[in-house]
Amino acid sequence: MPRTAMAAVHDGDGGVLKIREVTVADPGPGEVLVRLGASGVCGSDRHVIDGEWTLPTPTVLGHEGAGVVEAVGAGVTDVAPGDNVILSWCYPCRRCRACAAGKAWACTGTRSGECLLPDGTTRLSDENGVVYPYLAVGTMSEYTVVPESAAVRVPAEVPFDVASLIGCSIATGVGAVVNNARVPAGASAAVVGCGGVGLAVVMGLTLAGAYPIIAVDTAEEKLAAARSFGATHTVRADKEPVATVVEEITGGGADYAFEVIGRVETIETLPSLLAPGGVGVLVGLPPEGARAGIDVLELAEAGKTLIGSNYGGAVPSLDFPRLAGLYLAGRLPLDSLISHRIRLDEVNDAFDAMRAGTRTRSVIVFE
């Protein structure tokens, strides 16, 4: 039977989410009803709230979540009621050329970007009509209905708050290192921006055996966190010439550099951090329509490469369980990444803190 849920709803009328009730319908064929245990508070949600990305409204925000399967629709075989699952904000269709090539993150058959289920509808509504789940998951809600391929089973030993981060920031940050850049052991690396995803990049570099690992930020608190996750050197970008310091530490520039903020200004400086033949990885997502100016001649003559990283090149059905296993084995200290565990009605404060750069990661924990 349909049920009601409290959710954080973006109405498109300013930078404050409304905490209000929505109706969640039963799952249809190929769909899964999930009771959320936790939802991360991510920068992509802030882009929507601040009007930098355009979406249909009203929208239940949140795309980084984990919970328990409550019910499944006809034909679902991947998960069953009672399973703990991590939600993937890019549900793969499993039929297009990208999916066949093992590039689920590049799926051309998904409608997640439209905030729609595969049949072009949603299972959320209110007294005024349709409500859209952000990226087809809408995790800032007590319940949600997602496509079968968006619900990935993981061991129950992984706490919901940790599992939720695997669904976006960890898959994105660690994946940028191991899937996109494929950083070898001993390679030097710089990470520009040490929020939740930037710290996940640092974890990935530590896992890969990179050295040195140089973390760059303007907040001492975030640089201290980076050191705790394996950064060997830190640079205060507001007090030191970043490119000069990176060159001195590495003896000529980093083999790999990751931009994890999504600011045009830092994207434009990324090539200056690289050694000849180095690889720059664009992880941070800028506002719609942003354009960066790059010295193409310098890039070409030095044989430097810039690559884009979407969702860390993740295949959720494979990467989520792997990351969960690494956490359980003590190889990824994800508990320490969470600086604040909050209630749903504290989500606007979490976004204010994000704008001020005063937290590493906030996670909504549901009762």
Q: Exactly one of 44, 112, 169, 362 is catalytic; which is it?
A: 44
- Sign, CA dihedral 297-308-232-207, equals negative
Tell me whether residue 93 is one of the annotated catalytic residues.
no
Confidence of residue 357 (pLDDT cuts 50, 70, 90): confident
Q: Work out the burial of residue 114: count CB atoms within 10 Å of its CB; fewer than 13 is exposed, 13-18 middle, 19 or more buried.
A: middle
Q: What is the pLDDT of residues 247-306, one digit of tens each?
A: 999 999 999 999 999 999 999 999 999 999 999 999 999 988 999 999 999 899 999 999
Name the residue among 182, 160, 162 with its Cα closest to residue 170.
Answer: 162
Question: Active-site residue 42, yes or no?
Answer: yes
204: number of CA atoms within 13 Å, CB side? Answer: 33
Catalytic residue among 47, 107, 149, 188: 47
What distances in angstroms separate CA 254 from CA 210, 279, 310, one per listed residue? Answer: 11, 8, 22
Instruction: Kindly indicate the confidence band of residue 1, based on its pLDDT and cuts at 50, 70 and 90.
Output: confident
Catalytic: which of 90, 99, 107, 168? 168
Residues 6+ apart with CB under 8 A from 157: 328
d(CA 65, CA 38): 6
CA distance 208 to 142: 36
- Tell me what percent of the residues of the chain surpass a pLDDT of 90: 92
Which of 261-268's residues contact partners 24+ apart within 8 Å by CB, and which partners?
Answer: 261/192, 261/193, 261/195, 261/198, 262/43, 262/286, 262/287, 262/290, 264/290, 264/291, 264/292, 266/192, 266/193, 267/292, 268/292, 268/293, 268/294
Q: What is the pLDDT of residue 147?
A: 97
Which residue of the set 42, 99, 107, 115 is catalytic? 42
Q: Answer whether 264's CB lies under 8 Å from 218's CB.
A: no
Higher pLDDT, 357 or 37: 37
Catalytic entry in 10, 39, 63, 149: 63
Q: Indicate whether 15 pLDDT > 80.
A: no
pLDDT, one tens digit per residue, over 57-93 is 999 999 999 999 999 999 999 999 999 999 999 999 9
Tokens of 160: 């919901």
CB-based burial label for 34 (10 Å; 0-12, 13-18, 19+): buried
Q: What is the pTM of this model?
A: 0.94
> What digits encode the pLDDT tens for the residues 201-247?
999 999 999 999 999 999 999 999 999 999 999 999 999 999 999 99
CA–CA distance, 169 with 38 (Å, rounded to integer): 14
- Indicate if the alpha-carbon torsion angle 318, 321, 323, 326 is positive or negative: negative
Find where tokens 């760059």 sit: 216
Residue 47 designated active-site:
yes
Within 8 A by CB and 6+ apart from 101, the residues are: none
Rg (CA), the chain: 20
Is residue 151 within 8 A of residue 34, CB to CB? The reply is yes
